[in-house]
């Protein structure tokens, strides 16, 4: 099949949607399909590029109404078999034009929409219910819909959508093929010293952008509570904190760091800044455990969680909103109530002080991650595509 992926962002731009599109496209290309990615232009990057069996086309610096014409012209020229819109409204600068893609180009090829979340775009002041309606319009106008988690699947089912498939994401940060060797040979203290991080008894990791839904303020309060328990721990923030699509992250990250100053724990927060995949893997391996206190509960749509699982980390996260049988509390991760910094701190302290528990969680998370391989995800996605062809 000739497949066109539309992605609001794409590496080297920072963002989970772009990383997902890259990994899915690589896996689809490995299955023998022809892959084209349409994404936005960025200074210093070529307009057209071949990488890992994928042809990348960068259209314009911003998404807007003009984008529809550009997409239509490209699709008319290249005549794909399938168009897959990777949808997360922040990746398209909250612009509502992207919601019209199936109506605008759907006559040329079937349009599959993959919802990475159901956040509504900005339309105009006081748009109110129209913003939510635009999400449902996008879903109904698509030839098929893919969601990445059970909660979104249930929400769309209430809208009487029938052609919906639930396909979870994999880790956007692929562990090195020699992950076992990295874990065995990796000198954590030497890594911390080389990066000018102070030595402490424990390092608690957090991976991902700092936005309100990921519980940054709870994380900082939890760090203060953890140190109040007498646990000598630093918090390691892995990767860039704000990304390049959702500018609300910048204000929130500043609020969280200001809170850390107020609580007296700013000196115990370490930051890698934006680093490449191998450096992320090293940073994840340097942590004794990961703290991922999502406000809306743990979900398999979270690339940061999937990366922590893939790297076999001991993980403390929040109870999912909908039952997820694969998440087994005490076996492959530990679950705490959302927005409860006391429970977060107590549970992290338990993991750090109990080496056998930590080792059990590491083995459990690595085993759980094997359910989310990219070749399996690509195979399921290709079946959705094939079902729409004549």
Q: What is the DSSP letter of 124?
A: S
Shared domain for 232 and 148, answered yes or no, is: no
Per-residue pLDDT band at 206 (split at 50, 70, 90): very high
Determine the pLDDT at residue 278. 85
Candidate from 162-176, 205-219, 340-354, 375-389 with smallest mean pLDDT: 162-176
Shared domain for 148 and 201, answered yes or no, is: no
Determine the pLDDT at residue 178. 42
Q: Residue 227 pLDDT more than 80?
A: yes
Mean pLDDT, residues 240-249 taken together: 68
Range of the domain at 322: 179-372
Candidate from 46-55, 89-98, 279-288, 366-375 with smallest mean pLDDT: 89-98
Determine the pLDDT at residue 156. 81
Shared domain for 363 and 378, answered yes or no, is: no
Shared domain for 159 and 193, answered yes or no, is: no
Candidate from 134-148, 331-345, 374-388 with smallest mean pLDDT: 134-148
Shared domain for 203 and 253, answered yes or no, is: yes
Determine the pLDDT at residue 242. 72
Q: Residue 123 pLDDT more than 60?
A: no
Shared domain for 60 and 192, answered yes or no, is: no
Percentage of residues of the chain with pLDDT beyond 90? 57
Q: For residues 270 and 255, give the distance between their C-alpha atoms in angstroms, rounded to a whole number.
A: 16
Contact yes or no for 267/232 (Cβ under 8 A): no
Q: For residues 249 and 142, give the distance between their C-alpha atoms in angstroms, rounded to a whole number.
A: 30
Shared domain for 318 and 212, answered yes or no, is: yes
Mean pLDDT, residues 9-37 taken together: 93
Shared domain for 154 and 135, answered yes or no, is: yes
Contact yes or no for 285/308 (Cβ under 8 A): no
Closest CA to 261 of 236, 295, 208, 224: 224
Shared domain for 246 and 197, answered yes or no, is: yes
Determine the pLDDT at residue 36. 97
Q: Residue 185 pLDDT more than 80?
A: no
Beta bridge partners of 207: 238
- Give the pLDDT confidence of 305-333 residue by residue, as tens digits: 999 999 999 999 999 988 888 999 999 99
Q: For residues 80 and 7, give the distance between their C-alpha atoms in angstroms, rounded to a whole number.
A: 16
Determine the pLDDT at residue 20. 92
Listed in sequence order, the residues at least 6 apart from 388 whose beta carbon sits closer than 8 Å to its beta carbon are 82, 110, 112, 143, 144
Greatest Cα-to-Cα distance within the chain, rounded to the nearest angstrom: 65
Mean pLDDT, residues 182-200 taken together: 73
> Could you tell me which residue, 197 or 36, shows the higher pLDDT?
36
Shared domain for 162 and 276, answered yes or no, is: no
Question: Contacts by 347-353 with C-beta closer than 8 Å and gap 24+?
Answer: 347/316, 348/204, 348/222, 348/226, 348/231, 348/233, 348/289, 348/291, 348/316, 349/226, 349/229, 349/231, 351/288, 351/289, 351/314, 351/316, 352/201, 352/202, 352/204, 352/231, 352/233, 352/288, 352/289, 353/231
Q: Residue 143 pLDDT more than 80?
A: yes
Shared domain for 239 and 361, answered yes or no, is: yes
Domain count, the chain: 2
305 SS3 class:
helix
Q: What is the DSSP letter of 230?
A: T
Q: Residue 245 pLDDT more than 60?
A: no
Looking up residue 379, the CATH number of its domain turns out to be 3.40.50.2000
Contact yes or no for 370/306 (Cβ under 8 A): no
């Amino acid at each position: 099949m000739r497949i066109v992926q539309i992605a609001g962002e794409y590496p080297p731009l920072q963002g989970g949607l772009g990383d997902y599109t890259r990994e899915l496209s690589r896996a689809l290309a490995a299955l023998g399909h022809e892959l084209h990615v349409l994404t936005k232009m960025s200074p210093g990057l070529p307009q057209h590029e071949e990488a890992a069996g994928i042809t990348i086309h960068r259209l314009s610096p911003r998404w807007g109404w003009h984008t529809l014409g550009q997409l239509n012209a490209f699709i008319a020229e290249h005549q794909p078999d399938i168009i897959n819109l990777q949808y997360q409204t922040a990746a398209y600068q909250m612009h509502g034009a992207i919601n019209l893609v199936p109506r605008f180009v759907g006559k040329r090829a079937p349009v599959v929409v993959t919802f990475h979340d159901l956040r509504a775009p900005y339309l105009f002041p006081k748009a109110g219910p129209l913003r939510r309606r635009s999400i449902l319009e996008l879903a109904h106008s698509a030839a098929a819909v893919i969601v990445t988690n059970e909660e979104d699947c249930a929400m769309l089912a209430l809208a009487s959508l029938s052609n919906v498939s639930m396909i979870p994401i994999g880790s956007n940060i692929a562990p090195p093929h020699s992950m076992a060797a990295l874990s065995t040979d990796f000198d954590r203290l030497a890594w911390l010293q080389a990066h000018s991080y102070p030595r402490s008894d424990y390092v608690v990791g957090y991976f991902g952008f700092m936005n309100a839904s990921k519980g940054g303020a709870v994380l900082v309060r939890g760090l203060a509570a953890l140190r109040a328990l007498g646990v000598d721990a630093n918090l390691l923030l892995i990767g860039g904190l704000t990304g390049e699509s959702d500018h609300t992250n910048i204000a929130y990250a500043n609020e969280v760091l200001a809170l850390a100053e107020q609580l007296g724990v700013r000196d115990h927060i370490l930051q890698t800044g934006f680093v490449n995949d191998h450096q992320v893997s090293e940073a994840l391996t340097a942590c004794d455990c990961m703290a991922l206190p999502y406000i809306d509960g743990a979900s398999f749509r979270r690339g940061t969680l999937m990366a922590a699982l893939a790297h076999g980390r001991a993980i403390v996260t929040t109870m999912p909103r909908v039952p997820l049988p694969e998440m087994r509390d005490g076996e492959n991760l530990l679950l705490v109530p959302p927005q409860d910094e006391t429970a977060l701190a107590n549970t992290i302290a338990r993991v750090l002080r109990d080496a056998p528990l930590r080792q059990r969680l590491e083995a459990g998370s690595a085993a759980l991650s094997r359910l989310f391989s990219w070749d399996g995800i690509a195979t399921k996605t290709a079946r959705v595509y094939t079902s729409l062809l004549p």
